[in-house]
Structure 1
């Protein structure tokens, strides 16, 4: 099977694990600022917090799609940031703006570009957005991150209805749980005055309850391979047996 797998933010953490867990023989593409080409794949160096990078992604992705008669095309938008953690109105404005652009706007615009590029392709096509429990559980210090994840979930619900009407791309949003990544280390190091909920994440780490990225990646691929998960589904991986 000719399978194209594109993952944003795949230079480390869950993104890297998702690329590594992709089906054997897939052509893997890492879209990130500082990553590198995976074995047998390629790297697209882009800072997705910069709106100027979005059409560059769209053009590069469209070229990839047209290069081969793919049997399956999978895109996972995983790129995101928690920085700056802190209260709205108190943190650096430029950093807060980058947070909003990467976590919220980029996913919707890149999703639109993906749908545009694969619209007429005779292939199994799927777009997965990585969500978070923060989409439904507001936390002081994560205002922009939580709002972005909620927006991504709602985008998937609406676009899922559209693709069921016409288009046929399966669009999903999945919250993976608390994964042992560099982002979690950054959370635990945050002062409680900026993130009052920090103790919960420190306790999860101390209890050994953080999830392994490789295991989470395999389970996310199980979701993608599950024909019973319909387009427009918004899921929490922890709810699946």
Structure 2
């Protein structure tokens, strides 16, 4: 197996958990950044799996985590899967709470930029591959999701700039991966929103009722097949 480190954010549920399961089973060296970890993930921690507990909405925790990340990443090849994101706050502009705005901006936008910047600065890294888990909400305005749309669109542009910056060197490669609509806790949060908060709430309830949500493990396998190839 190639000597490389895979850094993943948000591994306790959804696509992140599925990626953890698939990559851990394949014996990959993982550094996982997440607000919480499942008991089976804690049990699997060891030489090839490092778990860094971090609330990405809190700047101080992110800074401490980045310091640990610098110590843990010792391979010349690194893959960063920018997966963690929150959909909240769901609602209209004018009714948003400042704390929710800050949490969304830190989690979805600022923290992944800081982590990417820290990894790019490591002089021992020969190649850094960033896999940015994107969304259609980064390209299309969705009423009720002002912060999710804005932060994901901003991050999409940030990674476009990184790709342009490194086009000639090839040291940093950026891939954008849109997983589509999956059966995850984020979808459960969306379904709980009222029509006043999210006018398309009934449509998303029907995705679940009509079995139109993709299984996260199926999506994880597709991401790995396309960009990681374990």
TM-score, structure 1 as length reference: 0.85
- Find out whether 1:86 has 2:129 as its counterpart: no
The answer to whether the 8 A contact 2:89-2:147 is kept is no
Aligned partner of 2:131 in structure 1 is 128
Q: Which residue of 2 aligns with 1:189?
A: 192
**Equivalent of 1:114, from 97, 114, 119?**
119
What is the correspondence of 1:122-161 to structure 2 with a 5 Å cutoff?
122=126, 124-161=127-164
Moved more, 29-38 or 57-66: 29-38
State the 1:53 CA deviation: 2.3
Is contact 1:188–1:201 with CA below 8 Å preserved after alignment? yes
Q: What corresponds to 2:15 in structure 1? A: 14
**In the TM superposition, what is the alpha-carbon distance from 1:85 to its structure 2 partner?**
0.9
Structure 1 stretch 178-187 or stretch 17-26: which is displaced more? Answer: 17-26
Alignment gaps of 5+ in structure 2: none
- Structure 1 residue 43 displacement after superposition: 0.9
**Segments of 4+ moved more than 4 angstroms:** none
Write the deviation string for residues 56-113 of structure 1: whole angstroms up to 9, x where unpaired: 22211111123xxx36321111111111211122022211221111111112122111
CA distance in 1, matches of 2:166, 2:63: 22
Residue 210 of structure 1 pairs with residue 201 of structure 2:
no
Distance in 2 (alpha carbons) for counterparts of 1:65 and 1:225: 18
In the alignment, which of 93, 105, 109 is matched to residue 100 of structure 1? 105
Q: Within 1, Cα distance between the matches of 2:79 and 2:67?
A: 17
SS in 1 for 2:32: strand
Deviates further, 188-197 or 159-168:
159-168
Q: Report SS of the residue matched to 1:192.
A: coil
* Separation in structure 2 between the aligned mates of residue 58 and residue 172 of structure 1, nearest angstrom: 22
Contact 1:10–1:30 under 8 Å retained in 2: yes
* TM-score after normalising by structure 2: 0.89
Provide the rounded CA distance (Å) in 1 between the counterparts of 2:109 and 2:94.
19
Shift of 1:51: 1.3
